[in-house]
A and B are shown apart, each in its own frame.
Chain A
Amino acid sequence: MAFTPEIAAIRFGEGLSPSIAPAKSVAEVMAQLRGDDLAAAAFPIPPLSDLYGDFAKVNALKKAARRGRKGPDADDLSRSYKQARRGFNSRLQGVFAPLVSRSITSPQPFRERLTRFWADHFTVVGKTNLTRSAVPFYIEESIRPHIAGRFVDMLKAVMVSPMMLEYLDQNTSVGPNSRGARGRRGLNENLARELLELHTLGVGGAYNQTDVRQLAELLTGMSTDLSKGFVFRAKIAEPGAENVLGQAYGGGAPAVEDVMAFLDDVARHPDTARHIARKIAVHFTSDTPDAGMVADMTQRFRETDGDLSAVYQVMLDHPFAWSSFGEKIKQPVDFMLSAMRVLEVPAVSLRKMNRTKRAAYVLTPMTAMGQHWFRPAGPDGWPEEAAAWVTPQGLAARIQWAMSAPSAFYRSLPDPRDFAEVALGGALDKKVEFAARAAETRREGVGLVLASPAFQRR
């Protein structure tokens, strides 16, 4: 199989849409990554840094309420804290509609897919009350601007994000011989290990426990202030140089530049190139991608110092990107978004959806399919393998949702026969066509189309 606009839309986009034409060539797919970010402009989501003020405000009110809980103003203080908390929460929850609407309406859907891919590569989960729902804002600030740029820029943006520093405990890691340690506080290896294992070299990469330890020392000082975001605290940074992957960093007064120098080096390490190239190939093409394609992508990564667009271009130009069509199973989030795209769920309905309905129609079913949105179990993010998603319980949840959600979104559903053509395009086969015709109700007909392997695979 070679390039077709429909395959491009299904494999490298959010699926087909009744009203948005798919890219007609590889060049048009790549063009989606250039110029203005149209979906972000149409459905803005603020960057995390816009929340720092709210973080500080809510936190201050919480402290005041706690301090004054036995005083005469206890009720007032508690009320104003709770009010601020509610306002902040609804600001965070407000991100749901624009997030979903982007995928439904974007004329540059490759951007949405890449944004989710990289957000998964640099997985964070909000661990405190304040950051629990802040992940989309992190993605907006640290991931999305870099998806078509250089890998090192994204790596650096992520490593100074309060979300990553909190998630992998870097915030609280203290150089054991620093002034701030006072003989009590010390190192935490979490971020150092995942930076090597997950974010750059890969677990098969050329590093050992000593590298992890040395990197953990090098990273000390990288920290957060709730109201300002990233801060470098020299006081808790381990003094002296650290040797990571055979190279010495620092040695003078501790500075964030030492960390950045390491990130520059590790981003262009051959193991990083291999790891990243393979991961992109696995996500977009096959659980067992063509070795030649991965090698070409790896080489391009190295030649261009990690220019990600150049790496995508190699993938899209390779015949395997098209011949392996159908090997991947859409993850639950991708499945649901592509269903909502072909159903054209209006932005206004999404905006009006209250918390109960969001949970009932989208978030709980997605969790039942095996994907608790924005809360993967660990920093390795979501699995890629078909067998991880197509389990009896996971598939049952997909079928259940396919049969019920469309009529929750719409009072009247399209004719299943027309719907099958729009949803599947060239992937429509005789059996699905027959089922769409033979179903007893529109609801079942539409559900069967969405539940079909042709719609679940990409």
Chain B
Amino acid sequence: MSGSLSRRKFLMKATALGCSAAASPLLTPMTFAQAPGENRLVVIILRGAMDGLDAIRPLGDPLIHRYRAGLGISRESAAMDLDGFFALHPAMADLLPLWRQGELAAVHAVSTPYRDKRSHFDGQDLLEAGTGIDVSGAQAREGWLNRLLQILPGAGSETAFAIGRSDMKLVAGRAPVSSWSPDGRLDMSPQARLLLEEIYHDDALFHDTSTDAIAIADSLGLASTDSFGMSSKDMRAAVKSARAAGDAGVLAGFAARRLNEESRIAAFSLGGWDTHRGQTRGISRALGGLQDAILTLKRDLGPKWQKTAVVAVTEFGRTARANGTNGTDHGTGGAMIMAGGAIRGGRVYGDWPGLDEASLYARRDLMPTRDVRSYIGWLMHGLYGIERSSLETLVFPGLQLGRDPGLLA
């Protein structure tokens, strides 16, 4: 199927999470000693297309009020002012202190190179692949976070941790990556473990994945061997912890735990952004989750927050105008949100294109004025000292990084 990047093609060979542990055992003192510096990066993928124009509202542009009557844009706006032009969505009010301390920033009018078809699924694939639209083969199947790990000096299998129940294409690729869901357990008798190893021995996918699973469950104290055999009571208790496992705060808390140990990079996803109708309520819930994630990271990372950069990115923005159902449809340019003590916050980065119809993309969407990958690239440069040339050829192949926006404090 033509030039577009299909989800299926992308994953075909991505046995990424599995293939790793055998090659580089988890949790050896080696891994710890080799950890690539103290800086931490948290990547949050906002699945479903966050409306950047609602999250970071350009209230200084009078057109926004006309385009978005019915989306509650004028309420409480003054109190949420950021810089005289942009205002924060009220659902993120608890982040204002971070803004004032320079620990919160946004980038506006950014996008991936994805255009026109506005499919969530292709859009997310491209966002996570970090390539141009016309790339296929190995580079399209790997995620950019994995390609960063491939060239990050001292990176081990626990350096990057993907958190949650579903797999993330962002971390797919040759470099080893750990992954787990906060509610996961693996209880087995030592004998059953040995037998399982035997059964999985000749099946590479099951062998490698179970090796990872056992190592992670052991390291987190989530594997009991003495009290093997979960009772039906244990199964009922698991219901409770599973219920919480998708919460933004729980995911972020788990990420902080890993980042306080060997991990330096964590990634997870938050959903609920596809606000085609009744956007006021839908986006408030989603932004509330994002806020919760950021505040949890700050709290749980303690002093390490000062060495942390959080980036929240989405596949594309949404239409400049409200649609007919008090929502917005799939668009193009959007916003990226950053937080952490490591960033130079308190400002909205990016070149604002304006909202008059001629300045919109296809006369409907916010015009992207810069590639979102260029900001992420400069962040990697600052956090991990990755050379510009490596970023432009290896991590984001074909990207022109452009001038350094100076994202770090």
Interface flags, A420-458, vs B, CB<8A=1, else 0: 000000000001101100111101100110011100100
A212 partner residues in chain B, CB cutoff 8 A: 118
CB distance from A273 to the nearest CB of B (A): 13
Which of A190, A203, A204, A452 contacts B276 (CB under 8 A)?
A190
A291 contacts partner chain B, Cβ-Cβ < 8 Å? no
Q: CA–CA, A367 to B235, complex, Å? A: 13
A400 contacts partner chain B, Cβ-Cβ < 8 Å? yes
- Which residues of chain A from 87 to 127 have any CB-CB distance to chain B below 8 Å in the complex? none
Binds B, one of A168-176, A303-311, A341-349: A168-176
Which of A203, A396, A408 contacts B232 (CB under 8 A)?
A408
Q: CA–CA, A385 to B168, complex, Å? A: 12
Which of A189, A205, A367, A400 contacts B187 (CB under 8 A)?
A400
User: Is the pair B192, A392 in contact by a Cβ cutoff of 8 Å?
Assistant: no
B362 partner residues in chain A, CB cutoff 8 A: 209
Q: CA–CA, A275 to B203, complex, Å? A: 31
Q: CA–CA, A358 to B228, complex, Å? A: 22
A361 partner residues in chain B, CB cutoff 8 A: 232, 235
User: Is the pair B198, A431 in contact by a Cβ cutoff of 8 Å?
Assistant: yes
| Contact A387-B11, Cβ < 8 Å, known A197-B117, A431-B199, A435-B195 | yes
Q: CA–CA, A188 to B200, complex, Å? A: 49
- Which residues of chain B from 125 to 148 have any CB-CB distance to chain A below 8 Å in the complex? none
A162 contacts partner chain B, Cβ-Cβ < 8 Å? no
B191 partner residues in chain A, CB cutoff 8 A: 438-440, 444
A378 partner residues in chain B, CB cutoff 8 A: 47-48, 120-121, 274
B392 contacts partner chain A, Cβ-Cβ < 8 Å? no
Q: CA–CA, A396 to B325, complex, Å? A: 43
Which of A185, A390, A432, A452 is the most central at the interface, judged by chain B CB atoms within 10 Å of its CB? A390
A370 contacts partner chain B, Cβ-Cβ < 8 Å? yes
B159 contacts partner chain A, Cβ-Cβ < 8 Å? no
A84 partner residues in chain B, CB cutoff 8 A: none
Q: CA–CA, A93 to B35, complex, Å? A: 50
B interface, how many residues as a size bin? 35 or more
Which of B8, B48, B181 contacts A384 (CB under 8 A)?
B8
Which of A189, A387, A397, A434 is the most central at the interface, judged by chain B CB atoms within 10 Å of its CB? A387
User: Is the pair A432, B192 in contact by a Cβ cutoff of 8 Å?
Assistant: no
Q: Is the interface of B mostly helix, strand, loop or mixed?
A: loop
CB distance from B10 to the nearest CB of A (A): 9
Q: Is the interface of A mostly helix, strand, loop or mixed?
A: helix
CB distance from B281 to the nearest CB of A (A): 12
Q: CA–CA, A176 to B201, complex, Å? A: 62
User: Is the pair A435, B12 in contact by a Cβ cutoff of 8 Å?
Assistant: no
Q: CA–CA, A408 to B230, complex, Å? A: 9
Interface flags, A358-380, vs B, CB<8A=1, else 0: 01110011011010000001101
Which of B118, B184, B330 contacts A396 (CB under 8 A)?
B184
User: Is the pair B119, A393 in contact by a Cβ cutoff of 8 Å?
Assistant: no
Q: CA–CA, A448 to B196, complex, Å? A: 7
Interface flags, A158-192, vs B, CB<8A=1, else 0: 00000000000100111010000100111111100
CB distance from B221 to the nearest CB of A (A): 14
User: Is the pair A432, B329 in contact by a Cβ cutoff of 8 Å?
Assistant: no
CB distance from B367 to the nearest CB of A (A): 15
Binds A, one of B76-84, B204-212, B347-355, B374-382: B204-212
User: Is the pair B16, A387 in contact by a Cβ cutoff of 8 Å?
Assistant: yes
- Which residues of chain A from 376 to 409 have any CB-CB distance to chain B below 8 Å in the complex? 377-378, 380, 383-388, 390-397, 399-400, 403-405, 407-408
- Which residues of chain A from 196 to 237 have any CB-CB distance to chain B below 8 Å in the complex? 197, 202-205, 208-209, 212
Interface flags, B184-228, vs A, CB<8A=1, else 0: 111111011001101111110110011011001100000000001
| Contact A360-B181, Cβ < 8 Å, known A203-B122, A392-B216, A453-B206 | no
Known: A367-B165, A387-B18. 13 other contacts (CB 8 A): A172-B324, A174-B325, A186-B324, A197-B117, A203-B4, A287-B12, A359-B236, A368-B242, A392-B209, A394-B167, A395-B209, A400-B186, A440-B189
4 tightest A-B CB contacts, nearest first: A204-B1, A186-B324, A392-B213, A393-B181
**24 CB-based A-B contacts, threshold 8 Å:** A176-B324, A188-B325, A189-B323, A203-B1, A209-B362, A287-B11, A359-B239, A360-B239, A368-B165, A368-B242, A368-B245, A378-B121, A386-B15, A387-B11, A390-B209, A392-B180, A399-B186, A400-B185, A403-B228, A408-B235, A434-B198, A444-B228, A447-B192, A451-B196
